[in-house]
């Protein structure tokens, strides 16, 4: 428990130490200076994510397949969801600016909300079907503007147990944007926290990046086969 408390305190202090940069990014955002805003935000957030893994939790991260990520356009990363450390893992160890769709409640947390909005996160209210659909449309437009997205089709964390079925509806964002899907396999993040309900240091984490799958120009029948295909690709390394 003591290690967990200290870990959260260190993460909080790191965020506070970047307060000047947060205010600078907000200033750029208000002025409509998107280029400089993004330089600040997509510089700070990956550094924070790496700090969480390498310094706070001292995790050993192994990444394979980075060369498979298209560098000339935005993509939609789709992967399994083991734990709360999945997002920091992707932000810290994939060299590509990205954002994600988040629960509306996260947009109300001080400091965190500012960074998420600056990251161009889309907030979704699950209890409102109309607002949920609009959020997916907004996120798809973000991809078209060059912001890669992260999606976890399971909808909830597996926490080290068997993975949950990938929900086909989660793929709408990728299909609407016409962006390539990059499947990613996450293995080991659950051990850092979810495994013991406390932070456990020195865990081995693997991130496998698979070949991209094009979605543009495909028929409805072809698109309908993609969710099962991606689930098979993502989960195969976890079952071997």
| Domain locations in the chain as residue ranges | 59-239
The 10s digit of each residue's pLDDT in 206-238 is 999 999 999 999 999 999 999 999 999 999 999
Q: 3-state class of 69 per DSSP?
A: coil
- Please state at what angle helix 34-51 crosses helix 86-93, rounded to 10 degrees: 120
Best CA proximity match to 78, nearest among 240, 224, 208 = 208
Q: What local confidence, expressed as pLDDT, does residue 6 receive?
A: 65
User: Looking at residue 5, what is its pLDDT?
Assistant: 62
| Per-residue confidence (pLDDT) for residue 29, from 0 to 100 | 98
Residue written as tokens 């909830």?
156
* 46-77: pLDDT as tens digits: 999 999 999 999 999 999 999 999 999 999 99
CA-closest candidate to residue 45, choices 10, 73, 21, 13 = 21
Full pLDDT tens readout for the chain, 240 residues: 545 566 667 777 788 889 999 999 999 999 999 999 999 999 999 999 999 999 999 999 999 999 999 999 999 999 999 999 999 999 999 999 999 988 888 888 888 899 999 999 999 887 888 888 898 999 999 999 999 999 999 988 888 888 889 999 899 999 999 999 999 999 999 999 876 777 889 999 999 999 999 999 999 999 999 999 999 999 999 987
pLDDT at 8: 63
| pLDDT for 229 | 98
* Confidence (pLDDT) at 149: 97
pLDDT at 2: 47
Q: Who's near 125: CB < 8 A, 6+ residues apart?
A: 104, 131, 132, 135
Number of other CB atoms surrounding residue 95 within 10 Å: 10
Structure tokens at 99: 């954002």
Q: Is 83 helix (H, G, I), strand (E, B) or coil?
A: coil
Q: Where are the beta strands (DSSP E) in the chain?
A: 60-64, 76-79, 98-103, 122-124, 148-151, 181-187, 204-209
Q: Measured between alpha carbons, how far is residue 125 from residues 3, 134, 152, 177 in Å?
A: 34, 10, 16, 21
Q: Where are the beta strands (DSSP E) in 83-151?
A: 98-103, 122-124, 148-151
Spatial distance between the Cα atoms of 115 and 93, rounded to a whole number of angstroms: 19
C-alpha 91, offset from chain centre? 7
N-terminal to C-terminal alpha carbon distance within the chain: 33
């Amino acid at each position: 428990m003591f290690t967990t408390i200290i870990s959260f305190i260190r993460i909080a202090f790191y965020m506070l130490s970047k307060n000047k940069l947060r205010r600078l990014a907000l200033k750029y955002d208000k002025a409509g200076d998107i280029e400089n805003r993004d330089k600040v935000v997509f510089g700070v957030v990956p550094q924070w994510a790496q700090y969480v893994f390498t310094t706070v939790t001292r995790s050993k991260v192994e990444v394979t397949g980075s060369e498979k990520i298209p560098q000339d356009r935005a993509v939609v990363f789709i992967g399994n969801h083991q734990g709360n450390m999945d997002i920091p893992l992707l932000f810290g160890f994939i060299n590509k600016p990205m954002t994600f769709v988040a629960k509306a409640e996260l947009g109300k947390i001080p400091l965190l909300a500012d960074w998420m909005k600056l990251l161009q996160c889309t907030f979704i209210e699950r209890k409102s079907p109309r607002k949920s659909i609009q959020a997916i449309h907004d996120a798809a437009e973000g991809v078209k503007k060059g912001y890669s997205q992260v999606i976890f089709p399971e909808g909830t964390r597996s926490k080290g147990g068997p993975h949950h079925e990938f929900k086909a509806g989660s793929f709408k964002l990728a299909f609407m944007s016409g962006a390539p899907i990059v499947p990613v396999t996450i293995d080991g993040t659950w051990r850092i926290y979810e495994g013991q309900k406390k932070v456990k240091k020195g865990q081995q984490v693997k991130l496998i990046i698979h070949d991209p799958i094009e979605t543009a120009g495909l028929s409805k029948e072809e698109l309908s086969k993609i969710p099962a295909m991606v689930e098979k690709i993502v989960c195969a390394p976890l079952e071997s």
